[in-house]
Chain A
Amino acid sequence: MNEVPLTHILFVSTALFFIGMYGLFTRRNLITMLMSIELMLNSVNINFVAFNKYLFPDKLDGLFFSLFIITIAAAEAAVAIAIIINLYRSHQSIDVDDATEMKF
C-alpha cells in the first residue's frame, strides 16, 4: 500500500486550521464560532497524531495528547454553550455583535 506522505496530512490540518480561523473571524453566530474553534482544535489533533505516527512510531505521547484535547474540547463546548444560553437569556440573541457592553 502506498504510504500517504506526511505533507499531505499536514496540508489537510493546515487547511482545516485556517478554515476554522476564517470561520471564527467572519461568523457572527456564537454557535458557529464555537464550531470553528472545534475545527481548529481538530486540526491540531491531526497534527499530533500525524507527527506521532511518522516521527516517533514507537511512542504514544501524541495520541494521548490528542485524547486529552478531545476531552478538553468537550468540556469547553459544555461551558461555551452554557455561556451562550445565558447570553441568550439576557440579550435575546446569540449574535456576537450584540454583546459589546464590555468596552471603553
Chain B
Amino acid sequence: MSNYLYILWIPLLPLATFVLLGLFGRKYFTKTAGIIGTASLLTSTILSFVAAKQYFFVDGKVNGVYQKIIALKYTWLQFSPNVSIDMGIIVDPISVMMLIVVTSVSLMVHVFSLGYMKGEERFATYYAFLSLFTFSMLGLILSVNIFQVYMFWELVGVSSFLLIGYYFNKPSAVAASKKAFIVTRFADLGFLIGILIMGFYGGTLDIGLLIEKLTSAQSPEFLSITSASFLGASMLTWGLTLIFMGGAGKSAMFPLHIWLPDAMEGPTPVSALIHAATMVVAGVYLVARLFPIFSMDETALTIVTYVGAFSALLAAVIACTQTDIKRVLAYSTMSQIGYMMFALGISKNGGEAGLGYMASMFHLFTHAFFKSLLFLGAGSVIHMVHSNEMKDMGGLRKLMPITHASFLIACLAIAGIPPFAGFFSKEEILTAAFHENKLIYGVALFTAALTSFYMFRLYFNIFWSKDAVAKAHHSDGHDDAHDHGEGTWTMKLPLLILTACAIGVGFIPFSQFITSDGLALETHIDLVFSIAPVALSIMAILLSASFYKTQNAKSDKAVALFGGFYSAAYKKFYVDELYLFITKKIVFPLIGQPIAWADRNIVDGFMLLLANTTAKISAAIKGLQSGKVQNYALYFFGGVIALSILFIYIWK
C-alpha cells in the first residue's frame, strides 16, 4: 500500500485560506482575496486529480477489487478500546470521486466568483466562507469515523448558513439562512440519534468496523441490533432511518426539502457550489458510505426508495410552475437528488444487482457538473439582467452567446439527451429501476419527461421568447455602466470548462471504477431500452418549445387546463404553509406555550419563591443588627445566662 498522506493537504489548504482570509482578509486582502482562495484551491484540485490517478490507475486495485485504504487515522477521543472519535482519511472509490467533484466544482465557482462578486464590500469574507465550506465538505467525504462525518456535517451546515445569509442586510436572505439552518439542524437531530443507536449496538463508531460488524448476519452485534425492537421495527431499521433522516435534511428530500428553494437567496455561485453540486449530495454520499449496512435492512431501503422517488416527482412538478429561475433550478436539483436516492434504495450490495448504487454515484458525478453549469449560467444571466424573474428575461441568446450555448448543453444533459453526460447516468438509473421495481421505473420515466419540459421552459424563457427585453431593461433607468455584457473571462472560462465536462464525463466508463463492492461491473447502454426515455424527453422538449419559444397563449391554456393543480404546484403544494401551520398553530400554542408557561411560572417561580422568602425573613430580622453596642452586649449576656441555665439545670 502506498502513501496517500498528501491527501491531508487537500482539505487543509482551504482551511488555511479560511483562517487567513477570515482573520486578515478585510484589512489586507480586500482585492487579492479571490486570487488567494482560487490559487489554494487550484492546488487542492491538482492534488485531488493526482490522488485519483494514483488510486484508480496505479495502486488502488488489488486483484481487480478497489480497496478501502485508511490513509490516516488519528484517535482523538477514546471512550473505550473500540469506541473512539477518530479523525482520519479514507481513500476508496466514492471518496476519491467526491474529491474530484468537490474540488473541481469549487474551483469553478471560485473562478466564476472572481467576476461575479467583484466589487462586493465583503469580498474577502465571501472567499473565506467559500474556503470554509470547501474544507468542511472535503473533511466530510474523507471521514473514517461516523462522528467525524457528523462534525463536518454540521460545519457544512454552518458554512451553508453563512453563505445563504451573505447578504445579511436583506431580510429574506436572513430568513432563508435561518430556515435552512433550522430545518437541516432538525434533521441532524435524527442523524445524531441514528449514530448513537448504531454506535450503541455496533459497539464502535468507526465506519469500516461498523460495516464489518453489522453486515455479517452471525455477528453478536448484528443479532442484538436486529432482535431489539421499538414500536414494531428493529433497531437497525430505526438507526438507519434516522441516519437517512439526517441525509434527507441535507439533501432536501421531502418533507425536509423546504429550505432548499429559499436558500437561493444566497449569491448564485454559492448556490452552484453548495445547493447543486456538493452539500446537497452529502445525504446521498452518506447513504452510499453506509450502503453495506443499508443493504442489510429491506425496510430502510424501501423508505429511501420511496422518499427519493416521491421527492423526484414532487419537485419536478413544482419546478414546472416556478417563475424564479433559481427556484426552478433548486427544485430540479431536489428532483435529481431524488433520482440518486431511489437508485440507491433499489440497489443491492455487490454484483449485477448493485447497478443502482453505481448508477446513483454516476448520476451524482455527472449531475454535479451540469447542474453547477446551469447555476453558473443562471448567475451569468442574473448578473446581466439584475433579476431572478423569468418575465424580466427573454431573447438573451444574441446578447450572451457563450452562456446561451453552455446553458443549452447543460439543459440537454439534464434532459438525458445523448450524447451528453446526463443521458448515460440517467439510463443506468432507469435500467436499474426497470429491473427492480416497475412502479419506481414509471415514476422515474415520467419525472424524466417533466425534467426535460421544465428545463426547456427555463431555457426558452431566458434565451428566446420575447426579443431584446434586456435592452429595454437597460434603457429605462440603468445607465451604461451596468451594461457589462456577458461578464469577464473569469466568468466565461468556468462555463466553458463545465460545458466540456457536461459533454465529456458521460463517456467515463464509470462502472469500471465505482461499484458497491469495488469489483468492476460490465454495463452497456441498451439502445432499445433508451428509446422510451429519450423519445419522451424529446417530446417534452418540443412541447416546451411550442409553449415558450415564442410568446403565445398555449401555455396559459395549459395552465387553465390544470387549474387548481397548477396553482397548488405554484404554491409548492402548500408544504411551507403546512409547516407554518404545524409550527404556529400546533407546536407553538400546544407545546411551546405550555412549556414557556411552566418555565416562567414553575421553574422561575420556585427560584423567585426562594429569593422572596429569604428577602422577607431577612427584612424581618434585620432589626437585630441595630448597630448599638449595648444591645449586642445584652444579647451576649442573655446567651451566657441561657447557656448557664441549660448546663446547670437541664443537662445536669
Contacts and interface: CB of A to CB of B under 8 A. Distances in A.
Nearest to B625: A104
Contact of B637 (A21, A96, A99): A21
Nearest to B622: A104
A25 B630 contact: yes
Nearest to B628: A100
A25 B634 contact: yes
A96 B630 contact: yes
Contact of B627 (A25, A33, A100): A100
Nearest to A26: B630
Contacts of B623: 104
Nearest to B629: A96
* Interface hub of A33, A101, A103 (most chain B Cβ within 10 A): A103
A101 B629 contact: no
Nearest to A102: B627
A29 to B, nearest CB: 11
A24 interface: yes
Contacts of B627: 99-104
Contacts of B78: none
A102 B627 CA distance: 5
Contact of B630 (A24, A101, A104): A24
Interface string B604-629: 00000000000000000011011111
B626 A103 contact: yes
B77 interface: no
Contact of B626 (A21, A24, A100): A100
Nearest to B632: A102
B633 interface: yes
A58 interface: no
A104 B617 CA distance: 13
A96 B634 CA distance: 14
A3 interface: no
Main secondary structure of the interface of B (DSSP, over half): helix
A97 B637 contact: no
A101 B628 CA distance: 9
Nearest to B619: A104
Nearest to A97: B628
B633 A96 contact: no
Interface in A18-49: 21, 24-25, 33
A15 B629 CA distance: 23
Contacts of A96: 628-630
B614 to A, nearest CB: 14
Contacts of A102: 627
Contacts of A21: 637
Interface string A75-87: 0000000000000
B622 A99 contact: no
A25 B633 CA distance: 8
A104 B627 CA distance: 8
Nearest to A21: B637
A13 to B, nearest CB: 17
Nearest to A103: B627
A103 B630 CA distance: 13
A38 to B, nearest CB: 15
Contacts of A33: 630
Contact of A99 (B625, B629, B633, B634): B629
Interface string B71-83: 0000000000000
A25 B632 CA distance: 10
Nearest to B637: A21
Contacts of A103: 625-628
A102 B633 CA distance: 15
A84 to B, nearest CB: 12
Interface in B307-356: none
Interface in A51-80: none
A15 B630 CA distance: 20
A76 B627 CA distance: 22
A21 B636 CA distance: 12
A97 to B, nearest CB: 7
B126 to A, nearest CB: 61
A101 B626 CA distance: 9
Contacts of A101: 627
A25 B628 CA distance: 11
Contacts of B625: 103-104
Contacts of B634: 25
* Interface hub of A100, A102, A104 (most chain B Cβ within 10 A): A104
A33 B625 CA distance: 20
B623 to A, nearest CB: 8
B622 A24 contact: no
A34 to B, nearest CB: 12
Contacts of A100: 626-628
Interface of B: 622-623, 625-630, 633-634, 637
26 contacts: A21-B637, A24-B630, A24-B633, A25-B630, A25-B633, A25-B634, A33-B630, A96-B628, A96-B629, A96-B630, A97-B628, A99-B627, A99-B629, A100-B626, A100-B627, A100-B628, A101-B627, A102-B627, A103-B625, A103-B626, A103-B627, A103-B628, A104-B622, A104-B623, A104-B625, A104-B627
Closest 3 CB pairs of A and B: A103-B627, A100-B627, A104-B622
